[in-house]
Amino acid sequence: MGIKVLDARVAQQVAAGEVVDRPSSVVKELVENSLDADSSRIEVELEDGGTSRILIRDNGNGMPPEDAKLSVLRHATSKISAVEDIEAVNTLGFRGEALPSIASVSAFQITTSTGEGAGTKVVVDGGSDAEISATGTPKGTTVLVDRLFYNVPARRAFLKGSRPERASITETLTHIAVAHPKVAFRLTEKGRDYLSLPEAGDLLERLAQIQGVAKARALRKVEYESGAFKISGYAALPSLTEGSRSHQTVSVNGRWVRGDNLHRGLDDAYRATVPGGRYPPVAVEIEVDPRRVDVNVHPTKQIIRFSDERAARAAIAAAVRSAIEWRPPNASSAPRTSERAFAQDRLAPPPEYRPKDNEYAAARAAESSVAYSSGTSKSLREVREEIYAASKPTKERAEAPLAAEELPERGALPRLEELRVIGQLGAGYILVEEPEAMWVVDQHVAHERAILDRLHDAENPASIQSLLVPEVVELSPGDAELAAGNLEELAVYGFEAEPFGPRSVRVMAVISTLADRDIVGAFKNALAAISGTDPGRRREDHILATIACHSAVKMGDRLSQPEMEALIKSWLTSRLPATCPHGRSICYRTSLKEIGRKLDRH
């Protein structure tokens, strides 16, 4: 077959694949156009999850007839005129591609009016020439996309069915709504609301509309500025997590983006405090000089590139970390907001064990498990003040008086000197008294939390301790061989070991927290992590968590009064006392009032 120049219509249909691959990408493009037109209300109506019909109605500026005619032509845009303009672009669109792409693969219709003179209707069927007519319509624009991909059967075959497509649209629209709290959004199908978000006063109110007031209370305010980046928004305490990233929204200069690099920055912030595969809700906006980001690296403009990618990742990590970190007001050192890596002298992994960025990349594709609740604006406004109080930066909160029933999970812990260790219960729990309440602390989990924090602390590194009597660990021949082949990596985690016969290994030194504790258990688990997980951060986190777990006192260990006091102190002065590596509860708190009630003291 000889070479032929493709017919313009076919070329457009092929190119459309880059911009639209499913109904949610159509919704994203059209909603972004509505936002660029300064709409304050955007409604999306679907049929069959958008696979049969998508209608988007906005109350924005609309287009005069000449523009409406041009809008469906390729490379027709009102947003830039020279390539340099992209550098400072402040609109979401600029490529002049979305409408012609969508119009080439659907039965497409746009009705628009600027509110002056007659409105205009433009009809395009599968990329045919546009039919233009005058029509009466209120100010704003309505776009109708019927039978998406009806003329590209191969693409249509890839659609996943009404429910998953609708879930993807809901997720997309939710992210955009978080990035634009002052705009009202509504998503309906067959008269049912899938999303109903009245205009919100600010981001926190929008998050409360989406996630519910209870979850919004677990959010902490993010306010951070460093170098080229100004970052603001909200981040959940690690005790609140979801099974996917659907509640993590990052926007850059008003554009909702998805980027592995930024997601990794979020993961860095929550490192060692949330279990793998769990994602605390986050909504942050990054403001950066537009010349430092390239928004034109991907047709959907969702992936962007920073001139300094590492700095962007570090900044988002530091911003979120400083919002969620909590230190008791009397703790000796100031809140640590700098990048904290596992980098102890002797424990620093040699370069070959340093995770490479792409090794632990986002193979964790977010499932689209979407279950958004919509609230009414009235009740939201009523509780808004309350949420505000609860989400103040933690430094400010430390000064505020404690609400009587407030749980430590909420980030509010009393001063250390106000606490008294009463004793031990069932050789597993430490009872602690504070002025108005009693705590029952899980001794193992609290200790584990404190130790893990220490293992991740680059400023105050844990040391390696030689064992007076080396520990001989009995293994299967296979595991003994595995250990022998990985002595260097084991040494990275403090295990100085050598082969000791065909079925055992002799451990001569360990991280000091592990000396006198369950060395055998920790060693075996570390070995299992080395054979069962890929090298990288997850493996490192896993091994450190193993060491912390086996170093910690156990359920059933009797503790002396000074031991209990030391344990409580090191737990409460750790970075995130209220969270445990496995997401378990650490402390149960009951107020004296509640105890009084139980004993009929009214």
In the complex, which residues of this chain contact Mg ion (CB under 5 A)? 33, 93, 98
CA distance 79 to 589: 57
Minimal CB distance to ligand ATP: which residue? 93
State yes or no: residue 96 binds ligand ATP (CB under 6 A): yes
CB of 177 to Mg ion, least distance (A): 18
Nearer residue to Mg ion within complex by CB, 90 or 460: 90
Phi then psi for residue 436, to 5 deg, are -115, 10
Q: Given candidates 77, 111, 391, 551, which one binds ligand ATP under the rule CB under 6 A? A: 77
Instruction: Of 264, 359, 310, 586, give the one whose Cα is nearest residue 452.
Output: 586
Nearest to 143 by CA among 33, 23, 35: 33
Q: Which of 13, 51, 59, 71 binds ligand ATP (CB under 6 A)?
A: 71
Rounded least distance, CB 257 to Mg ion, Å:
16
Closest CA to 336 of 401, 288, 394: 394
Report the phi/psi class of residue 58: left, alpha or beta, with left for phi > 0 and alpha for psi in -120 to 50: beta
Segment contacting ligand ATP by CB under 6 A, of 91-99, 244-252, 413-421, 464-472: 91-99
Taking the least distance from each CB to ligand ATP, the nearer of 293 and 320 is 293
Residue 524, φ and ψ in degrees, nearest 5: -65, -40
Residue type, 23: P
- Of 79 and 415, which CB lies nearer to ligand ATP in the complex structure? 79
Q: Which is nearer to ligand ATP, 93 or 408 (CB)?
A: 93
| 119 binding ligand ATP? (CB under 6 A) | no
Decide: is 195 part of the binding site for ligand ATP (CB under 6 A).
Answer: no
Q: Which of 43, 97, 165, 171 binds ligand ATP (CB under 6 A)?
A: 97
Region from 88-96, 261-269, 353-361, 455-463 binding ligand ATP, contact rule CB under 6 A: 88-96
Binding track over 22-61 against ligand ATP, x by CB under 6 A: -------x---xx--x--------------------x-xx
Q: Which residue has the tokens 């990035």?
A: 179
Helix/strand/coil (H, E, C) string of 2-41? CCCCCCHHHHHHHHHHHHCCCHHHHHHHHHHHHHHCCCCE
172 binds ligand ATP (CB under 6 A): no
**Among residues 302 and 573, whose Cβ is nearest to ligand ATP?**
302
From the CB of 93, what's the least distance to Mg ion, in Å?
Answer: 3
Q: Which is nearer to ligand ATP, 58 or 125 (CB)?
A: 58
Task: Rank residues 33 and 39 by Cβ distance to Mg ion and give the closer one.
Answer: 33
Task: Identify which of 464, 516, 264 has the alpha carbon closest to the alpha carbon of residue 344.
Answer: 464
| Bridge-based pairing state of the strands 184-189 and 192-197 | antiparallel
DSSP per residue, 284-353: EEEEE-GGGEE--SSTTS-S-EETTHHHHHHHHHHHHHHHH----TT-SSPPP-S---S--TTTSPPGGG
63 binds ligand ATP (CB under 6 A): yes
Q: What are phi and psi of 75, to 5 degrees?
A: 60, 25
CA trace torsion 388, 394, 398, 403 (10° rounding): 40
Instruction: Give the footprint of ligand ATP on this chain (CB under 6 A).
Output: 29, 33-34, 37, 58, 60-63, 67, 71, 76-79, 93-99, 141
